[in-house]
Amino acid sequence: MKKNRERFCNREREFVYEFKVGSQCLELRVPLRFPVQENASHLHGRLMQLHNLPCFIEKDLKEALTQFIEEESLRDYDRDAEASLEAVKSGEVDLHQLASTWAKAYAETTLEHARPEEPSWDEDFADVYHDLIHSPASETLLNLEHNYFVSISELIGERDVELKKLRERQGIEMEKVMQELGKSLTDQDVNSLAAQHFESQQDLENKWSNELKQSTAIQKQEYQEWVIKLHQDLKNPNNSSLSEEIKVQPSQFRESVEAIGRIYEEQRKLEESFTIHLGAQLKTMHNLRLLRADMLDFCKHKRNHRSGVKLHRLQTALSLYSTSLCGLVLLVDNRINSYSGIKRDFATVCQECTDFHFPRIEEQLEVVQQVVLYARTQRRSKLKESLDSGNQNGGSDDKTKNAERNYLNVLPGEFYITRHSNLSEIHVAFHLCVDDHVKSGNITARDPAIMGLRNILKVCCTHDITTISIPLLLVHDMSEEMTIPWCLRRAELVFKCVKGFMMEMASWDGGISRTVQFLVPQSISEEMFYQLSNMLPQIFRVSSTLTLTSKH
């Protein structure tokens, strides 16, 4: 039947319209290719403008054109139906296969035949966890998570020690070989030893990687089973042992509070907070924070004091399945992996603690790679179609080569998202692709990195992310070319652009109060930090305090 359908598609028919202008009889002939993809009203408007037709025939021409398209389309459908019936009668099409195809299509598109959606294990576990984390059992959950974190951290420590010993031993072997180079050994011997060393390192890393993967999988299964069991036990009020199971000793609790307070005093960097109001008529209050800190400080767990409740994790856990999520923007290169730079550091932090709710960071990146591959394939096919039809200009060859060269990579300004429940203070990481151009001093508000920030803020509005941390200078580390004037210009540009994007938020989400944290690298000077702090209230409208005095 597809052959018959193709036979009637892409047929060209001529639309003929006769009209009189004074004593003259004129005729309009327009070739149309069926099926007509364009809207009849749009086609009618183009004909009127292209042929300078008189306005008094406009209504009649539109009716005639619409009638012609409907009649010819109906004839095509009739021919197609007749051809299909003939194919069935002649035995060209299997009648039973056709009937089963129709029955399947009808069942899939009709609501009364649709199967009720069964809740998945992830959804059930999410509901159970949300109930428990808002119950007295929350302290027990966080203690258990911390114990798992300590176990994985010790395993990672053992891995690092073993890898360090292997590298030291290999370094000594290589020094001995280099001393004998040109005497009893040749370059080939050195290369062979280097290959053996590399292979040994790979084998050891793979061994530890598999062990970590197996340990996290066991922890995740144990944790989820324990959470389900605890939730079921909580429903049984006669369970006397349950209160002892979830009880936390007060002295232990206080020790943890004081310890975390000391840790935060030691590690928290320079910080300034502002409250602003944005909007023309309906103003929305937002919180802004300027911090001198490392981006990964919001992800790392504190290793001190393994026992007790970890309060810095409590708020993150409470809001995991809520409408108040926390996000972070990481500036990465165009390769979707975790092999170098801040991507490797971030992946290392993610691996230190088992994620009990979402897939591992490596699995999420593999999914992103598949999605990017599919998207690039679709774009590539569309680009080829447009080139074949001759709609591209002279620079299309360069665009094609560039698209093929970056076939599996993301482009500057594009970003991908990973979800996490095992990080200290964030739930969502936006991996924003930037190139070396962000280090120059001449980027504008239309730069891909700036537009990427706009799209990230839009995602925050549509997916309940109310706190977002942004690198203010669009870099994670300072370099020599980043002078004081460079920093001031870059900060002013980002401040102004983010302000505009936040004003757009009112139309995106109806005006929800949000917290935006601007982070600058730790290597920036204290003087530079306070210059940026003084710039922020000049760009944003900071709320001023009102002092009321009574008259005597």
DSSP state of 473: T
Asked if 163 and 201 count as a contact pair (C-beta separation under 8 A), the reply is yes
Does 130 lie in the same domain as 107? no
CA 378 from chain center: how many Å?
19
Does 53 lie in the same domain as 89? yes
Give the model's confidence band at 339: pLDDT under 50 very low, under 70 low, under 90 confident, else very high. Answer: confident
Residue 450 in domain: yes
Does 128 lie in the same domain as 94? no
Does 232 lie in the same domain as 127? yes
Residues 228-283 have pLDDT tens digits of: 888 888 877 665 555 555 544 333 433 444 444 444 444 456 899 998 888 767 77
Cis status, amide bond into 116, omega within 30 of 0: no
Does 140 lie in the same domain as 44? no
Residue 400 in domain: no
Distance CA 204, CA 191 (A): 20
Q: Which domain holds residue 378?
A: 269-384+406-540
Domain boundary at 113, 143, 177, which?
Answer: 113
Does 223 lie in the same domain as 155? yes
Does 299 lie in the same domain as 229? no
Residue 230 in domain: yes
CATH classification of the domain holding 278: 3.40.220.10
Residue 255 in domain: no
Strands (E), 293-414: 325-332
* Tally of structural domains, the chain: 3
Residues 91-114 have pLDDT tens digits of: 787 878 888 888 888 877 776 666
CA 445 from chain center: how many Å?
22
Residue 513 in domain: yes
Distance CA 401, CA 295 (A): 36
Residue 506 in domain: yes
Does 299 lie in the same domain as 175? no
Does 47 lie in the same domain as 194? no
Does 144 lie in the same domain as 78? no
Does 432 lie in the same domain as 316? yes
Does 237 lie in the same domain as 210? yes
pTM, 2 dp: 0.71
Residues 354-411 have pLDDT tens digits of: 999 999 999 999 999 999 888 888 888 877 776 766 554 444 555 555 555 556 688 8
